[in-house]
Amino acid sequence: MACRVLGWAVPPPPRLTRRFLFIFTLSLSCTYLCYSLLFCCDSLMQSRGLGEHRCLLIQNVGGKKLLQKSPYCSLEGPAPSAASPGAPALSSAPAPAPRLATTNHSGTPKLGTKRLPQAIIVGVKKGGTRAVLEFIRVHPDVRAVGTEPHFFDRNYDRGLDWYRSLMPRTLESQITMEKTPSYFVTKEAPRRIFNMSRDTKLIVVVRNPVTRAISDYTQTLSKKPDIPTFEGLSFRNRSLGLVDMSWNAIRIGMYVVHLESWLQYFPLAQIHFVSGERLITDPAGEMGRVQDFLGIKRVITDKHFYFNKTKGFPCLKKTESSILPRCLGKSKGRTHVQIDPEVIDQLRDFYRPYNIKFYETVGQDFRWE
């Protein structure tokens, strides 16, 4: 009142008070921000396992093992503690670290590991090896190389690391396979495969050797139209019935001769023979026996096949993973060249003793006579 009476002006609030309020508010904001950042960093470190990791404990409950997550523990492992009476024992061994999947350039994970093959289709050329490979690749427990590596006959000097690099990635439960039909007639192949792994399972697709030779010639003729006739290549002297065993198309069909080299390194139980004829008339039956030989469940059955009348052999039906049915390429199922029936009879006579001995050796009659 005295100030008003005397006409004095009321002094404004001091600037010091306003500055104090501003600094105090700013300090509270910074404190809250720092606390939030520290909390987030701590959460990230725990979730990523930096500094600490979760221990996996195996607990026996009612005779069953249960995998449980424990609270976070240090990298040195939990401190030993006395178990309470009646409490189930816990495994003190740390759980093995899971194998991480590698990634390709696109960032997509690559599952599995490249392994040397556990099973190889070693022969024979023009016997039906491509069909067996394509059919068995439908099985989820089999992964196979699409192209022929020719490692044990042409590329052996490149080494096993190079060979392994060609293989597809497989899981522990899957079988790695490849096919190169020329292995069967390569003298060094049995020893080389044995040196890689004596447990390798071998698959040989065989076919009537006369029909096989004609098919072989037909394929060569499509690439080299100027080659001599089939009759001219098959005989050194046709009038005397002297077959030219040096011609590769003839030599391949002498199955028992080549088999002797393989039996020096592998027991017969480790070699499975597929009938090229039954592969056409009963593909499910033949592939069922292949699956049994490989020790995998019979997944490939009748429902996977249909007969292609144009090609004259079975094809795979459309699956969930494919838009169209899968049939072998244009080079498969060619119409064979016409051969003089007398030439065919002469070749049958030539192969008969080899076939009979082959039947006796493998314990299976392929009925080619």
Query: Which H or E run includes 247?
Result: none
The span from the CA of 6 to the CA of 316, in Å, is 112
Which of 125, 126, 179, 201 is labelled catalytic? 126
223 is in an annotated binding site: no
334 is in an annotated binding site: yes
DSSP notation for 159-225: -HHHHHHTSPEE-TTSEEEEE-GGGGG-TTHHHHHHHH-TT-EEEEEE--HHHHHHHHHHHHHHH-T
Residues 116-132 have a mean pLDDT of: 97
Q: 73 pLDDT exceeds 70?
A: no
Assigned token pair, 185: 């007639």
At residue 322 the predicted structure's pLDDT band, cuts being 50, 70 and 90, is low
**Any idea where the domains of the chain sit in the sequence?**
113-362
215 is in an annotated binding site: yes
Give tens-digit pLDDT for 284-300: 999 999 999 999 999 99
The span from the CA of 143 to the CA of 270, in Å, is 20
Query: Which H or E run includes 262?
Result: helix 255-263
Q: 49 pLDDT exceeds 80?
A: no
More confident residue, 241 or 35: 241
Q: pLDDT at position 244, please?
A: 98
Kind of pairing between the strands at 169-170 and 113-114: antiparallel
The span from the CA of 134 to the CA of 222, in Å, is 23
The span from the CA of 179 to the CA of 290, in Å, is 14
At residue 78 the predicted structure's pLDDT band, cuts being 50, 70 and 90, is very low
Q: Across 34-43, 232-241, 316-325, which has the greatest mean pLDDT? A: 232-241
Assigned token pair, 161: 């690391």
Q: 317 pLDDT exceeds 70?
A: yes
Q: pLDDT at position 336, please?
A: 83
Count CB atoms within 10 A of the CB of residue 214.
Answer: 22
Q: 279 pLDDT exceeds 70?
A: yes
Residues 138-149 have a mean pLDDT of: 97
Place of tokens 């447990």: 199
Beta bridge partners of 65: 60
336 is in an annotated binding site: yes
Q: Is 303 a catalytic residue?
A: no
The span from the CA of 3 to the CA of 177, in Å, is 106
More confident residue, 65 or 360: 360
Q: What is the DSSP secondary structure assignment for residue 112, as one 8-state letter?
A: S
Tell me the C-alpha to C-alpha distance, in Å, between residue 143 and each of 44, 138, 232, 290: 39, 9, 42, 15
Instruction: Give the residue among 226, 258, 263 at the shortest CA–CA distance from 245.
Output: 258
99 is in an annotated binding site: no
At residue 16 the predicted structure's pLDDT band, cuts being 50, 70 and 90, is low
More confident residue, 67 or 114: 114
Q: 170 pLDDT exceeds 90?
A: yes
Residue 271's SS3 state is strand
Q: pLDDT at position 17, please?
A: 67
Q: pLDDT at position 335, please?
A: 81
* Fold observed for domain 113-362: Rossmann fold (3.40.50)
- What's CA 137's distance to the chain center, in Å? 8
Residues 303-307 have a mean pLDDT of: 93
DSSP notation for 307-365: EETTTTEEEEPP-TT-SS-B---TTSSPPPPP--HHHHHHHHHHHHHHHHHHHHHHT--
241 is in an annotated binding site: no
At residue 22 the predicted structure's pLDDT band, cuts being 50, 70 and 90, is confident
Q: pLDDT at position 29, please?
A: 72
Q: Does this model's pTM top 0.85?
A: no
129 is in an annotated binding site: yes
The lowest-confidence range among 89-98, 155-164, 165-174, 190-199 is: 89-98
The four Cα atoms 123, 128, 133, 134 give a dihedral, to 10 degrees, of 160
More confident residue, 23 or 283: 283
